[in-house]
Amino acid sequence: MVGAVIYALAINYFLIPNRIGEGGVTGLTAIGYYTLKISPALTNLVLNGILMLVGWRYLNRQTVYYSLWAVLWISIFLKIPVFMPYQTSQTLIAAVTGGVLMGISMGLIFRAGGTIAGSTILAKIVNRYLGIRNGSAMLFFDLSVAIPSAYVIGFQNMLLTVAELYVSAVVLNKFLDAVGAKRSVMVFSEHNQEIGQALSSQLGQGVTMLNATGFYRQRRQDVLYYICSQQNWTRVMPIIAAIDPEALVVTDQIRSVRGVNLSKL
């Protein structure tokens, strides 16, 4: 619902007042409003209802239900009267701001397990079966609507629409990476048993010990493998350094960790 509020604010307060389009179904709702004055809430509900039938075939039921919930609330919030819309001659500001808000709103809805239907339904399907990132797949489908919209909103506003879509895709990808990101740590040390015990007891997470063999000396040694959240990351290195300041530590940022529902990867 919070994502739906932000989404409606982006459309009603930044995009439509400055005659900036959008991609996918939202782009079609904007075109319908600009040309025939059809309510965006009505167009959003009808067209997304049709696309939800496609999602019913290819996505899990929970995603479909949450998407219906998001689409319903977006349509409701779009119907709320607009007070003090942001209109400016510097329309790039409106496009960038609208793109940031769109990316955040979709990130919130995606993290909750839903979509905003439209091109995000298609993006979820592509992500599930082809592994393409949600924001990138959605940008492709959105551009297929945004570029032809130049015939309605003009070439300059079409370019602003493309800029807005790009910003929203980047923000969406960054948001999903940041919220779902984890840190992986590999530790090579003579004191891995003590380090593992300290990490497990102080941070309350499991630690894995791997059997490794150094190629040059053919020497067997345990390697500690640990996955932690971004919040715990600042506590990991001091724990390791306190036990073995000479330890070799290899770290990496990983996008997602799942041990139950692998489809969400």
How do the domains of the chain map onto residue ranges?
2-179, 181-264
CB 187 within 8 A of CB 223: yes
3-state secondary structure of 6: helix
Which residues 6+ apart lie within 8 Å of 155 measured at CB?
Answer: none
Is 6's pLDDT higher than 90?
yes
* DSSP secondary structure of 58-82: HS-HHHHHHHHHHHHHHHHHHHSPP
Write the pLDDT tens digit of every residue in 174-213: 887 776 667 888 999 888 889 989 988 888 878 888 888 8
Write the pLDDT tens digit of every residue in 250-262: 988 776 665 555 5
- Topology (CATH level 3) of domain 181-264: Alpha-Beta Plaits (3.30.70)
Q: What is the pLDDT of residue 10?
A: 92
Tell how far CA 124 is from the center of its chain.
Answer: 11
The residues that bridge with 254 in the sheet, in sequence order, are: 182
